Structure 1
Amino acid sequence: MSHPIIMDSLLKFFFITVILLLSAAVREIQGDAMVTGTVFCDQCKDGQRSFFDYPLDGAKVVVACGGNDGQVTMWKEETTNMMGSYAMRFNGSPDLRGCYAQVSGTNSAAGCGASAGPPKNLKLMFEIFDMAFYTVDALISQPAQPMPFCPNRTSNPTTNPIPTPTPTPNPTLPVPGPPPPTVRLPPLPPAPFLEASACPTQNWLMQEYRCYWKVVSPETKVAVAFGLIAAKSYGTDMTLQEGLLGRGDLYRTLLREGTTALLNSYNSMQFPYPTLGVIEHMNMALLGSSSQVLLTALRFKRANSGFGKVGCKFTPCN
């Protein structure tokens, strides 16, 4: 039988060792603040996101913080990637809850940089140790004029009204003139993304459907598509195509169905999860328990199957 004094001493030694190890681990974590968000091109200039808008590559975003005297106390700028996403790191874990983000410029070739939307405040998602993660609601940048296919697009009213002919005392039959020119409106561009479509993983892996990879490519890194939290779980070298091949492991299953849902969200505006929703649910699952990982993976899988009501609208690429 073990002596009570010896057992008590061993337990105290164990707890002190654990506390020292945890303290050392915490000290090794660098205190940083991370800000992430997305910029969209507001093609219809309606001031909000719609299914005509798309993620804007090459947009410059500035995060600024103001002091009590109205002067800017902190300022940083970053450029969006091809998915319209940006991420900024602030050393020292400063409190950014009073700061805002705004589009400060765009790539001149994008054709969507005539004006920027309103600034948006930073929102604190969570804090862990000395690290803080902030998100920003979607920012917008606008072209000089709304696109021709936008609904409720206003045109300049006619300033010269048609004159009323003056009757003559001896009216004669008018001489027929040339017919007025026919005004033909430009046809609406094809918009397959307006149709409901949900395609399972195996369809996205087939070579004949490779043309449906539009916003991202099979070689796009998982860390780029899903952000910092996914990078910690899957590394910085794994591609989306490798993510689609995940089998067996719970977290690889989540990545497979999450990547499929991300591709479906880019392909169809009627997919149950919007693009930002896929990324948010993916990251929240990675921060949660194993049961939350499984539940999120199953929900993505059901959405990717169309809930048995919506099929995959793929046709072989030319």
Structure 2
Amino acid sequence: MDFRKKLLFVALLIFAVIHGTQADAMVTGTVFCDQCKDGQRSLFDFPVNGAKVTMTCADSNGQVTMSREETTNWFGSYTMRLDGTPDLNGCSARVSGSGEGSMGCGEASGPPQNLRLMFRMFDMEMYTVDPLLAQPAKPMQQCASSSNPVPAPPTQHKSPPPFQLPPVAGLPPLPPLPPLPPPPPLIFAEASACPYRKWTTPEYKCYWRGVNPETKVAVVFGMAAARRYGNDMTLWNGLHGRGDPYRTLLREGVTALLNSYNSLQFSYHPLSVVQHMNWALMGSTRTVLLTALRFMRANSGAGNVTCKFTSCK
């Protein structure tokens, strides 16, 4: 039994002792946006907020005997609660639509997934569903060339020549418009890992993508992080933590998240960083330290990956 199952078992045991036994069933799962529309998880996929999930149960004749709909939260997860302990082994869940917050990823959906019984105890049942896929109307352009990514040659951003309006008879020429700022750097197709000190250097500020220094830790990592670090802690403040196991975990977790947004071959996917952070925050101090060390090893390149940053100026 892994750590998550142990934690869930202890929580349900305490709940049963304090509140008494109550028959209840729960179904949980997550919806991801299948940006490549290939029917499988990839580095480009992200959790979908506002996706509608429908669970249906049918008898041996194919007649629907039960149906329940739920909407995913900000982290793309959903939870369905049912009174009693119905047998849900023949039931399945699928993405049935999109709502506000789904970011346009719901015009189509992947195949339905069957419910799997995780455990049954004290007249309580918990079922899990393998990740469901919502799909946009068209696959993203990067997907066609992402199967065998080739490192892009280094390029130097050159500002275009200043634009000038044609002269008008009788009027002095207008001054040239200011040059456009250089475009943001491309995501590294090859592996890149940068330690936290690089992310606090002003000359590399253009590599912040997906989040910004003022983004709240609680918004990115969820309720467990909010309870530990408060609602006002920013990612920038989190990068400067040291001396305490939980602050070290936050520093390396934020660094790993930033690295995952900038390199397709980084050791962790953005969602994986969030998951490992939450597992650590719900565990012991030893788990916190081990997770922080794993993040630190990935952020340092594990001895064979370097930081691909070049100055933003």
Is the TM value for this pair above 0.5? yes
Which amino acid in structure 1 is aligned with residue 311 of structure 2? P
Give the superposition deviation at 1:87.
Answer: 3.8
Tell me how many residue pairs correspond in the alignment. 254
Residue 254 of structure 2 is aligned to residue 254 of structure 1: no
Give the superposition deviation at 1:65.
Answer: 4.9
Q: How does 1:187-266 map to 2 (within 5 A)?
A: 192-266=187-261
Q: Which moved more, 1:90-99 or 1:192-201?
A: 90-99
Q: How does 1:1-318 map to 2 (within 5 A)?
A: 26-27=18-19, 35=28, 37-43=30-36, 45-51=37-43, 53-55=44-46, 60-66=51-57, 70-78=64-72, 81=74, 85-88=75-78, 100-102=93-95, 104-105=97-98, 113-121=106-114, 136-137=130-131, 139-144=133-138, 147=141, 150-151=144-145, 192-317=187-312
* Deviation readout 1:28-84 (Å, 9 max, x if unpaired): xxx9969463522423x3222334x243666524253536562444321236x5xxx
- The 1:310/1:121 distance shift into structure 2, 3 A limit, reads same
* Partner residue in 2 for 1:17: none
- The 1:208/1:276 distance shift into structure 2, 3 A limit, reads same
Give the superposition deviation at 1:194.
Answer: 1.2
On the 8 A contact 1:221/1:238 being kept in 2, the answer is yes
Which amino acid in structure 2 is aligned with residue 46 of structure 1? D
On the 8 A contact 1:209/1:317 being kept in 2, the answer is yes
On the 8 A contact 1:120/1:139 being kept in 2, the answer is no
Matched residues in 1 for 2:120 and 2:200: separation? 37
Please give the secondary structure, in 2, of the residue aligned with 1:316.
coil
- The 1:303/1:118 distance shift into structure 2, 3 A limit, reads same
TM-score of the two chains, using structure 2 as the length reference: 0.63
Which amino acid in structure 2 is aligned with residue 211 of structure 1? C
RMSD of aligned C-alpha atoms? 4.2
Please give the secondary structure, in 2, of the residue aligned with 1:270.
coil
Give the superposition deviation at 1:272.
Answer: 1.3
Give the superposition deviation at 1:267.
Answer: 1.3
Which amino acid in structure 2 is aligned with residue 116 of structure 1? S
Which amino acid in structure 1 is aligned with residue 76 of structure 2? Y
Matched residues in 2 for 1:73 and 1:47: separation? 24
Please give the secondary structure, in 1, of the residue aligned with 2:70.
strand
- The 1:245/1:131 distance shift into structure 2, 3 A limit, reads farther
Please give the secondary structure, in 2, of the residue aligned with 1:317.
coil
On the 8 A contact 2:106/2:134 being kept in 1, the answer is no
- The 1:146/1:258 distance shift into structure 2, 3 A limit, reads closer
TM-score of the two chains, using structure 1 as the length reference: 0.62
Which amino acid in structure 1 is aligned with residue 51 of structure 2? K
Matched residues in 2 for 1:38 and 1:222: separation? 23
Unaligned runs of 5+ in 1: 1-21, 154-189
* Deviation readout 1:82-115 (Å, 9 max, x if unpaired): xxx3244556898788563526226799565542
Please give the secondary structure, in 2, of the residue aligned with 1:262.
helix
Mark the structure with the bigger radius of gyration: 1
